[in-house]
Amino acid sequence: MKNINEYLDFAIKMAKEAGEIQKSLFRSNSLSITTKSSLTDVVTEADKRSEALIISEIKSRFPHHSILAEESGITEGEKEWQWVVDPLDGTTNYSQGLPVFSVSIALRHNGETVVGVVFAPYLDELFTAVKGGGAFLNGTPIRCAKKPELARMVVATGMPYDRAENPDNNLDNIENVVNRVRGIRRMGSAAIDTCYVAAGYFDAYWEMGIHEWDVAAGELIALEAGALVERFRDEERIAELVCSPDAYDAFRPLIK
């Protein structure tokens, strides 16, 4: 295994290059917005070009590594090393000209995430972590919040793309939470949500129906900042809770 920081630097380089593509097309007429699973699930030229760039760089530098990426699925390779990539997390925001979007790149070694990078190009926020090395925002160490009282918490969530057809669409949880906390936010990028728990900007984030590529990097960043990460349901669909330890006892009973 190389020095873990070499992988980190490589992931940062790819995230920044993808971020340049995203900024160059942002709020332009060249987005080529198309839909995927439904009319609510969109993909843009920036998603495709960012993913193509990241995959080609991984293949050229680490030809034997496997890759799981949002738009192209699995690229087979050695099981030992796997890159988990969301080239543009927050595509709905991006396609609307809203600045909350990010590149999320994680590296797993034998199934365990060892590097996490989330870069929000428009906000110029780079979140990074390597396992056991702490979490950072633009090079400065971050820690999660320390608020035990619900009434002082600001929390984030999201709703699944199939929310109109699937009654298990998180609205019951939102209804249960909304009047008990200071504020609830739907930022539109799960990767940024998890990093904002890491930085103490949110006390908790939860969502169901997300994918590994949405949260693989953010989970490590949150853990390294002292947060708790829980897959809170025993089902194939991912139900994710990222929470500061001080918020957990009061917040956890509110969601199911």
**Residues lying near ligand IPD in the complex (CB under 6 A):** 70, 86, 89-91, 158, 160, 188-190, 207, 209-210, 214
Task: Indicate the residue type of 118.
Answer: V
Shortest distance (Å) from residue 190 CB to ligand IPD: 3
**Closer residue to ligand IPD, CB minimum distance, 207 or 246:** 207
Task: Indicate the residue type of 171.
Answer: L
Shortest distance (Å) from residue 189 CB to ligand IPD: 5
**Closer residue to ligand IPD, CB minimum distance, 86 or 246:** 86
**Closer residue to ligand IPD, CB minimum distance, 7 or 196:** 196
Shortest distance (Å) from residue 177 CB to ligand IPD: 16
Q: What are phi and psi of 220, to 5 degrees?
A: -65, -40
Q: Return d(Cα 66, Cα 108) in angstroms, integer.
A: 10
* Chain residue at closest Cβ approach to ligand IPD: 158
**Closer residue to ligand IPD, CB minimum distance, 70 or 219:** 70
- Chain CA centroid to CA 229, Å: 13
Q: What angle do CA 150, 156, 160 make, to 5 degrees?
A: 130
**Closer residue to ligand IPD, CB minimum distance, 216 or 250:** 216
Shortest distance (Å) from residue 29 CB to ligand IPD: 21
Q: What is the DSSP-derived secondary structure letter of residue 9? A: H
Q: Return d(Cα 69, Cα 67) in angstroms, integer.
A: 6
Shortest distance (Å) from residue 83 CB to ligand IPD: 16
Q: What angle do CA 77, 43, 169 make, to 5 degrees?
A: 95
Element (H, E) at 11: helix 4-25
**Closer residue to ligand IPD, CB minimum distance, 4 or 52:** 52
Q: What are phi and psi of 74, to 5 degrees?
A: -95, 130
Q: Of 86, 91, 116, which Cα lies nearest the Cα of 103?
A: 86
Shortest distance (Å) from residue 237 CB to ligand IPD: 11
Q: Return d(Cα 105, Cα 129) in angstroms, integer.
A: 11
